[in-house]
């Protein structure tokens, strides 16, 4: 374990003793607001300290097993030496597991990670082929949501002539949806022979994906109703006779920024309006977040990129059956499975890379 991590954990262990003393004091509940804050801090600190105490206990067990192995080897007792070596190996494996758990617990948490997510997919260069690929990406995210036991809703879609999507907005509803999908933001490139290609040549097309956390209504950006223009129109695409006869689809424009959101997935104009407003709030919140990060000089691109839509993050090569994530130089030869929503082997390495990046920042701050 790195010294700065052990020092951090020792400080937390001492802090837990202080919190125990403060919470057990006779006047602990005199100030209920302070008592609630201390109780919350105690719970958060204890969550980290308990695995650390198990780590220290396991470390002592490994030390004892190592001493036993040395003594058994010196006395020529091979059976005891082998048993002690097994204990050392088991203790080492448990230490590595606990250290990984502690690393994860120490990392700064993004409160948005547990939120639902909006996934915006737009066809880029490549015309109809890009639109077809955009629809495949949407299907991939819907399948991934199903694998997680989550719900995926199509908020809005602009279909293309060949059955693709010029633009689609999904709402993924499930605990941790944004935390899982946040690294999907960026440029997605596809290399394959388009259905419109008569000479069998491989073309390169592109789509952009943006993943936004669904805003907390209590903390959402405040919008002046006078700054909104709300238009209704007839929904496009499939939907039966009813959807073609009523202006149930809603488009909301935030006049100061020009940001637009629309929803056409419901027959109720009222529900479409509410969903479009949610998407608009998410886009405004994302815009504000990026501006804040720029002001704080947090635009430094790390290992996994900035999440900007102009970043080319991934290539899907159909002739070779491979998918490559350019941020971490990861190549997998399982393109069909990925397109069926099997994203774990792509997402997990990105999460680990982000964790390593955050841990390095913590270490740098500790050493400064």
At 254-296, the pLDDT tens digits run 888 888 888 887 778 888 888 888 888 888 888 877 776 665 4
CATH number at residue 227: 3.30.70.1660
Of 71, 106, 141, the residue that ends a domain is 106
The pLDDT assigned to 236 comes to 62
Please provide the distance, in angstroms rounded to a whole number, between the alpha carbons at the two ends of the chain. 19
Based on the fold, state whether residues 95 and 203 are members of the same structural domain: no
Q: Is the pLDDT of residue 234 over 60?
A: yes
Which of 111-125, 151-165, 187-201, 342-356 bottoms out in mean pLDDT, i.e. has the lowest? Answer: 187-201
Q: Is the pLDDT of residue 245 over 70?
A: no
The pLDDT assigned to 240 comes to 41
Based on the fold, state whether residues 281 and 137 are members of the same structural domain: yes
The average pLDDT across 170-199 equals: 90
Q: Is the pLDDT of residue 222 over 90?
A: no
Based on the fold, state whether residues 89 and 118 are members of the same structural domain: no
The pLDDT assigned to 230 comes to 87
Residue 254: in which H helix or E strand, if any? strand 249-254
CB 157 within 8 A of CB 264: yes
Based on the fold, state whether residues 177 and 32 are members of the same structural domain: no
Query: How many domains would you assign to the chain?
Result: 2
The pLDDT assigned to 244 comes to 44
CATH number at residue 99: 1.20.58
172 compared with 278, residue with greater pLDDT: 172
- Helix axes 78-106 and 3-23, enclosed angle (nearest 10): 70
How far is it between the farthest Cα atoms of the chain? 92
Sheet containing 203-213: order of strands: 151-159, 165-173, 117-123, 203-213, 186-192, 312-317, 322-325, 330-332
Based on the fold, state whether residues 207 and 69 are members of the same structural domain: no
Q: How far apart are CA 318 and CA 192, in angstroms?
A: 5
Q: Is the pLDDT of residue 39 over 80?
A: yes
Residue for token pair 């470390």: 59
Residue for token pair 């125990």: 20
Domain span at 61: 3-106
Which among 345, 33, 324, 275 has a CA at the least distance from the CA of 41? 33
Alpha-carbon distances of 220 from 276, 302, 340, rounded to whole Å: 14, 27, 34
The pLDDT > 90 percentage for the chain reads 52
The average pLDDT across 58-72 equals: 94
Question: Is residue 364 in some structural domain?
Answer: no
The pLDDT assigned to 275 comes to 85
Q: How confident is the model at residue 221 (pLDDT cuts 50, 70, 90)?
A: low
The average pLDDT across 298-324 equals: 71
Of 106, 141, 174, the residue that ends a domain is 106
**pTM reported for the whole predicted model:** 0.67
Quickly list DSSP for 4-61. Answer: HHHHHHHHHHHHHHHHHHHHTSTTTTSSHHHHHHHHHHHHHHHHHHHHHHHHHHHHHH
Q: Is the pLDDT of residue 306 over 60?
A: no
Question: Is residue 249 in some structural domain?
Answer: yes
The average pLDDT across 201-224 equals: 81
Which of 38-52, 166-180, 303-317, 326-340 bottoms out in mean pLDDT, i.e. has the lowest? Answer: 303-317
The pLDDT assigned to 300 comes to 40
User: Mean pLDDT of all residues in the chain?
Assistant: 86
The pLDDT assigned to 122 comes to 93
Of 106, 121, 141, the residue that ends a domain is 106
3-state secondary structure of 292: helix
Based on the fold, state whether residues 239 and 333 are members of the same structural domain: yes
Q: Is the pLDDT of residue 248 over 90?
A: no
Q: Is the pLDDT of residue 16 over 60?
A: yes
β-pairing, 312-317 vs 186-192, is parallel
Based on the fold, state whether residues 122 and 263 are members of the same structural domain: yes
Which of 79-93, 214-228, 348-362 bottoms out in mean pLDDT, i.e. has the lowest? Answer: 214-228
The pLDDT assigned to 150 comes to 96
The pLDDT assigned to 46 comes to 94
∠ CA 332-178-261, rounded to 5°: 110
The average pLDDT across 190-206 equals: 85
**329 backbone φψ class: left, alpha, beta (φ>0; ψ -120 to 50):** left
**In 106-125, which positions are buried (b, 16+ CB within 10 angstroms) versus exposed (e)?**
bbeeeebeebbbbbbbbbbe
The average pLDDT across 346-350 equals: 91
- Helix axes 3-23 and 32-75, enclosed angle (nearest 10): 130
Alpha-carbon distances of 283 from 117, 145, 169, 331, rounded to whole Å: 11, 21, 12, 31
Q: How far apart are CA 280 and CA 214, in angstroms?
A: 10
* Those residues with Cβ within 8 angstroms of residue 282's Cβ, 6 or more apart along the chain or in another chain: 118, 212, 213, 214, 215
The pLDDT assigned to 48 comes to 93
Sheet containing 259-263: order of strands: 228-233, 249-254, 259-263
H-type alpha helices, the chain: 3-23, 32-75, 78-106, 127-148, 177-181, 240-245, 269-295, 335-339, 344-367
């Amino acid at each position: 374990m790195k010294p700065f991590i052990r020092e951090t954990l020792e400080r937390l262990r001492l802090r837990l003793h202080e919190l125990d003393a403060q919470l057990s004091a006779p006047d602990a509940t005199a100030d209920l607001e302070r008592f609630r804050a201390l109780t919350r801090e105690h719970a958060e600190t204890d969550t980290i300290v308990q695995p650390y105490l198990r780590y220290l206990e396991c470390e002592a067990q490994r030390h004892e097993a190592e001493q036993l192995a040395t003594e058994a080897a010196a006395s020529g007792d091979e059976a005891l030496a082998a048993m002690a070596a097994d204990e050392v190996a088991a203790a080492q494996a448990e230490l590595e597991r606990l250290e990984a758990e502690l690393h994860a617990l120490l990392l700064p948490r993004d409160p948005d990670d547990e939120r639902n997510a909006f996934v915006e997919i737009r066809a880029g260069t490549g015309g109809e082929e890009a639109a077809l690929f955009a629809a495949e990406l949407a299907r991939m995210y819907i399948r991934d949501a199903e694998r997680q036991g989550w719900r995926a809703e199509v908020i809005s879609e602009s279909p293309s002539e060949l059955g693709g999507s010029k633009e689609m907005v999904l709402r993924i509803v499930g605990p941790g949806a944004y935390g899982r999908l946040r690294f999907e933001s960026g440029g997605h490139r596809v290399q394959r022979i388009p259905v419109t290609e008569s000479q069998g040549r491989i073309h390169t097309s592109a789509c952009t994906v943006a993943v936004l956390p669904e805003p907390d209504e209590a903390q959402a950006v405040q919008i002046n109703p006078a700054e909104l223009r709300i238009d209704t129109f007839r929904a496009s695409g499939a939907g039966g006779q009813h959807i073609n006869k009523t202006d149930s689809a809603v488009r909301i424009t935030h006049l100061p920024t020009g940001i637009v959101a629309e929803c056409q997935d419901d027959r109720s104009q009222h529900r479409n309006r509410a969903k479009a407003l949610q998407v608009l709030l998410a886009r405004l919140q994302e815009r504000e977040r990026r501006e804040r990060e720029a002001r704080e000089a947090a635009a430094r691109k790390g290992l996994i990129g900035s999440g900007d839509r102009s970043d080319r993050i991934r290539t899907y090569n159909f002739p070779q059956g491979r998918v490559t994530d350019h941020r971490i130089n990861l190549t997998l030869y399982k393109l069909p499975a990925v397109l069926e929503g099997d994203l774990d082997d792509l997402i997990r390495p990105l999460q680990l890379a982000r964790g390593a990046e955050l841990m390095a920042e913590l270490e740098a701050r500790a050493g400064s």
